[in-house]
Amino acid sequence: MQHARKIGAPILTVEGVSLAFGGVRALQNVSFDVREHEMRAIIGPNGAGKSSMLNVINGVYHPQEGTVTFDGKVRHEQDPHEAAARGIARTFQSLALFKGMSVLDNLMTGRNLKMRTNLVLQAVRLGPALREEIEHRAAVERIIDFLEIQAHRKTPVGRLPYGLQKRVDLGRALAMEPRVLLLDEPMAGMNVEEKQDMCRFILDVNDQFGTTIVLIEHDMGVVMDISDRVVVLDYGRKIADGTPDEVRSNQAVIDAYLGVAH
């Protein structure tokens, strides 16, 4: 697939990352890089360590070994909030939206980091605070238009169908205007039509906003169509890395997905 944007230098580099939970070794010596404006996929069978990898990048887990370099800086003990502040946004495999809040409010929380006025000004809704609120509201409205969820602006997210909730999850991450967007199985549990919609949105985000995207999927088909390069994990190890075509013909990948006769 051809993209209008130009792929740049590596923005995110993972080097020799190992992560263990007690005796379970979730990741073993995994290295790869993600280039700016790239659409990068991490695939692998269930339990391959894909989500762990994402959680390491986003600071939920701290690896025992190895480093994650983002934008030229290594941070060892960053937590998710710092990662967010540095421009790493994410969506969740099992939805983690604020279910009781409206779509609009969910997206507005994504602007939280960009809010500068203090509590007192906010409380009286005066001057800068009001101007700021209007600015952020405008940014969020653009995302609502982009994701075609205008009709659901005021609906509590918990009442929306699954496919739309996934879209709101994406929207909330987009509202942060991230440099790198981590998507944890954005197509999981969707029907064909919803999958197609989601693919289109992800491609458009990459194309129009130039956002670097790291995408986890366990369904190989979808990913191969839309990504520039693919990392394949199996039992916590990297077994392949390259363009979709290279990966597709790799014997280790075929074995991992189809199983090998022992």
Q: Site residues (CB under 8 A) for another protein?
A: 58, 60, 79-81, 83-85, 89-90, 92, 96-101, 105-106, 108-113, 115, 119, 122-123, 125, 133, 136, 172-173, 176
- Complex with another protein: residue 76 or 125, whichever CB lies closer: 125
In the bound state with another protein, the residue whose beta carbon lies nearer, of 42 and 247, is: 42
How many other C-beta atoms are found inside a 10 Å radius of the C-beta of residue 102? 17
From the CB of 26, what's the least distance to another protein, in Å?
A: 18
**Phi, psi of 190, rounded to the nearest 5 degrees:** -100, 155
Distance in angstroms (rounded) separating the CA atoms of residues 187 and 156: 22
State the minimum distance, in angstroms, from the CB of residue 55 to another protein: 10
- 40 vs 90 by CB, closer to another protein: 90
Minimal distance, residue 130 CB to another protein, in Å: 11
CB 119 to another protein: min, Å: 6
Residue closer to another protein (CB basis): 176 or 190: 176
d(CA 247, CA 262): 23
For the bound state, the minimum distance from the C-beta of residue 94 to another protein, rounded and expressed in Å, comes to 10
Nearer to another protein, 22 or 259 (CB): 22
